[in-house]
Amino acid sequence: MEFSKICVLGLGYIGLPTASTFATHGLQVVGVDINTKVLETLRSGELHIHEPGLRTLVNAALGSRNLTISDTPEAADAFIIAVPTPFDNDKHADLNAVKAAGRAIVPHLQPSNLVVLESTSPPRTTRDVLAPILEESGLKAGVDFLLAYSPERVLPGKILHELIENARVVGGIDQASTEAGRKLYQTFVRGEIVLSDATTAEMVKLMENTYRDVNIAVANEFAKLGERFEIDIWEAIEIANRHPRVAILQPGPGVGGHCIGVDPWFLVEAAPDVTHLVKTARQVNDSQPGHVVNLVKNALGAPSSLAKMKIAVLGLSYKANVDDLRESPAIEVAQLLVEAGAQVSAYEPYKLDAEIPGVRATTSIAEAVEDAELLLMLVKHKAFLELNPNELAEQTPARIAVDTVNGWPMHPWHAAGFKIYKLGVGNSNAN
Ligand code: SAJ
């Protein structure tokens, strides 16, 4: 089958780059979003999301006239669903956007069309949730139209590169759907396209992020053991990772973003009786912000309260060198400090206007640290790694620093007069 026109439903972090990439590779693409603000922003030549290179790509796609944007789908050869699947307060997957996208496709679905779900979804969503909705068209999945699942697996900050170069799994509800999916993504994917079935492809995506979450959880427990046994866990992990079959990830203030902290819950919800480890890992990682607050107390001599303590927080984003604040553990730490009575100033170089209740946002490191008693690094931003402790010592009265990401080497900071407390490192190393 040939694809000349496609509809991409959802113009967010995945849908917009995907729609634009198809368009710059010669397909006619209708990008659909139900959020009129998103459409207005795109039509005015602006972007509602930040991703290196995305503005140039979207401009090229719109400029070629291959990409048009709309609030409703229209007839096409293929439909790609790339809408959010968040979780609700009970940690249950919220599939309303996927269902709504399916229903929006129904009036336009024609025999031999392909529908691909890209949104991260609990196992069997393509078969058990999406197929019945699409069949309200009167057409039968696997008989009259093709249906597949193909997850996005790109890393925020590297989306445009990884979209094209990563291996991609395509799983159809039958052989013909799988083949059609391969043909569609071959338009631009240079990485290997691995063929499977829909439910396996759904599991692959969830397993990747769950594996990473569990690995980070064990690193976070190792960090607590490092503190208990007065060693440097960063050094221990580095040495352990020289073993050819060991690859431990890095401990830190917690796991943020909208993927790794969310996706494992889809497995726990789908099969709670067989996912004890997955659930425990989530709980371990979710407990890290509270652990960081304990480290701060400890560094200050374990006061019973942090009332009026002046703390300068460095970094608020969910990971290094991005401006994305969604589900950021750094924000949770800042909030816990405020709740404990501390006076918190924060500097986030990628988002100077970050608004967190009770936290004083600052536009420079100098402003954040000017009257601080303690410096707390929560994100391994390049700018923080390059700080010169001697220069910093002149800008702040603080002589205590807490490093949760192993960004500051002990020696130069000690030499500049700072006590350094590190997550994962015994206190005896602080001086
Ligand atoms: N983190 C650690 N220690 C580490 C690595 C990460 O604490 O060693 C923390 C980060 O600081 C961050 C969180 O984990 O708070 C997640 O960051 P990340 O860089 O691991 O992942 P994401 O959420 O930006 O992107 C992930 C990627 N998945 C994998 O690498 C398996 C990406 O490929 C997926 O496409 C994306 O989730 C997604 O959309 O699912």
User: What is the three-state SS of 26-69?
Assistant: CCEEEEECCCHHHHHHHHCCCCCCCCCCHHHHHHHHHHCCCEEE
Contacts of 7 (CB under 8 A, 6+ apart): 29, 30, 32, 73, 74, 76, 78, 79, 80, 105, 108
Euclidean distance between the first and final Cα of the chain, in Å?
68
Check pLDDT > 80 for residue 401.
yes
pLDDT for position 182 = 98
Is the minimum distance from the CB of 209 to ligand 1 under 6 angstroms?
yes
Check pLDDT > 90 for residue 29.
yes
What is the bridge-based pairing of β-strands 168-172 and 146-149? antiparallel
* 321 and 190, same domain (yes or no): no
pLDDT for position 334 = 98
Residue that terminates a domain, selected from 174, 199, 224: 199
The closest of 399, 408, 122 to 272, measured between CA atoms, is 122
Mean pLDDT within 172-200: 98
Confidence of residue 68 (pLDDT cuts 50, 70, 90): very high
Torsion of CA 22, 27, 33, 39, to 10 degrees: 90
Instruction: Report yes or no on 120 lying in a domain.
Output: yes
Count the neighbouring beta carbons within 10 Å of the beta carbon of residue 108.
Answer: 15
Tokens of 161: 């590169």
pLDDT for position 41 = 95
Confidence of residue 149 (pLDDT cuts 50, 70, 90): very high
Catalytic annotation present for 7: no
The residue from 37, 158, 205, 380 that is catalytic is 205
Rounded to the nearest integer, the mean pLDDT of the chain is 96
Check pLDDT > 90 for residue 275.
yes
pLDDT for position 238 = 98
Instruction: Report yes or no on 263 lying in a domain.
Output: no
Mean pLDDT within 90-105: 95
* Residue that has been written with the tokens 């986030």 in this structure: 348
Is the minimum distance from the CB of 155 to ligand 1 under 6 angstroms?
yes
Check pLDDT > 80 for residue 429.
no
* 183 and 326, same domain (yes or no): no
Residue that terminates a domain, selected from 146, 165, 199: 199
Task: Give the largest Cα separation in the chain, rounded.
Answer: 75
pLDDT for position 133 = 98
Count the neighbouring beta carbons within 10 Å of the beta carbon of residue 314.
Answer: 29
Is the minimum distance from the CB of 381 to ligand 1 under 6 angstroms?
no
Confidence of residue 90 (pLDDT cuts 50, 70, 90): confident
What is the bridge-based pairing of β-strands 419-422 and 400-403? parallel
* Residue that has been written with the tokens 């995305």 in this structure: 54
Distance between CA atoms of residues 45 and 321, nearest Å: 25
pLDDT for position 428 = 76
Check pLDDT > 80 for residue 280.
yes
Distance between CA atoms of residues 146 and 154, nearest Å: 25
Instruction: Report yes or no on 106 lying in a domain.
Output: yes
The closest of 349, 407, 351, 354 to 376, measured between CA atoms, is 407
Check pLDDT > 80 for residue 1.
no
Domain count, the chain: 2
* 195 and 322, same domain (yes or no): no
Atom of ligand 1 nearest to the CA of 153: 35
pLDDT for position 21 = 98
pLDDT for position 106 = 98
| Domain region containing 121 | 5-199
Mean pLDDT within 214-240: 98
pLDDT tens per residue across span 302-360: 788 899 999 999 999 999 998 899 999 999 999 999 999 999 999 999 999 889 999 99
Q: What is the 3-state secondary structure (H, E, C) of the chain?
A: CCCCEEEEECCCCCHHHHHHHHHHCCCEEEEECCCHHHHHHHHCCCCCCCCCCHHHHHHHHHHCCCEEEECCCCCCCEEEECCCCCECCCCCECCHHHHHHHHHHHHHCCCCCEEEECCCCCCCHHHHHHHHHHHHHCCCECCCEEEEECCCCCCCCCHHHHHHHCCEEEEECCHHHHHHHHHHHCCCCCCCEEEEEHHHHHHHHHHHHHHHHHHHHHHHHHHHHHHHCCCEHHHHHHHHCCCCCCCCCCCCCCCCCCCCCCHHHHHHHHCHHHCHHHHHHHHHHHCHHHHHHHHHHHHCCCCCCCCCCEEEEECCCCCCCCCCCCCCHHHHHHHHHHHCCCEEEEECCCCCCCCCCCEEEECCHHHHHCCCCEEEECCCCHHHHCCCHHHHHHHCCCCEEEECCCCCCHHHHHHCCCEEEECCECHHHCC
pTM check: above 0.85:
yes
**CATH number of 398's domain:** 3.40.50.720
pLDDT for position 170 = 98
Check pLDDT > 90 for residue 88.
no
The residue from 5, 140, 183, 259 that is catalytic is 259
Number of C-alpha atoms within 13 angstroms, CB side, residue 382? 4
What radius of gyration, in Å, describes the C-alpha atoms of the chain? 24
* 60 and 156, same domain (yes or no): yes
Judged by average pLDDT, the poorest of 223-227, 262-266, 268-272, 298-302 is 298-302
Mean pLDDT within 188-203: 98
* 192 and 291, same domain (yes or no): no
Instruction: Report yes or no on 311 lying in a domain.
Output: yes
Count the neighbouring beta carbons within 10 Å of the beta carbon of residue 389.
Answer: 19
Instruction: Report yes or no on 251 lying in a domain.
Output: no
Q: Are 253 and 405 in contact (CB under 8 A)?
A: yes
Instruction: Report yes or no on 395 lying in a domain.
Output: yes
* 314 and 415, same domain (yes or no): yes
Pocket test for ligand 1, best of 166, 213, 237, 259 (most atoms within 8 A of CB): 259
Q: Are 390 and 416 in contact (CB under 8 A)?
A: yes
Check pLDDT > 90 for residue 24.
yes
Is the minimum distance from the CB of 318 to ligand 1 under 6 angstroms?
yes
Confidence of residue 57 (pLDDT cuts 50, 70, 90): very high
Atom of ligand 1 nearest to the CA of 209: 31
Instruction: Report yes or no on 280 lying in a domain.
Output: no
Instruction: Report yes or no on 61 lying in a domain.
Output: yes
Residue that terminates a domain, selected from 175, 199, 223: 199
Residue whose Cα lies nearest atom 35 of ligand 1: it is: 153
The closest of 379, 384, 264 to 331, measured between CA atoms, is 379
Check pLDDT > 80 for residue 430.
no
pLDDT for position 183 = 98
Is the minimum distance from the CB of 260 to ligand 1 under 6 angstroms?
yes
Mean pLDDT within 173-189: 98
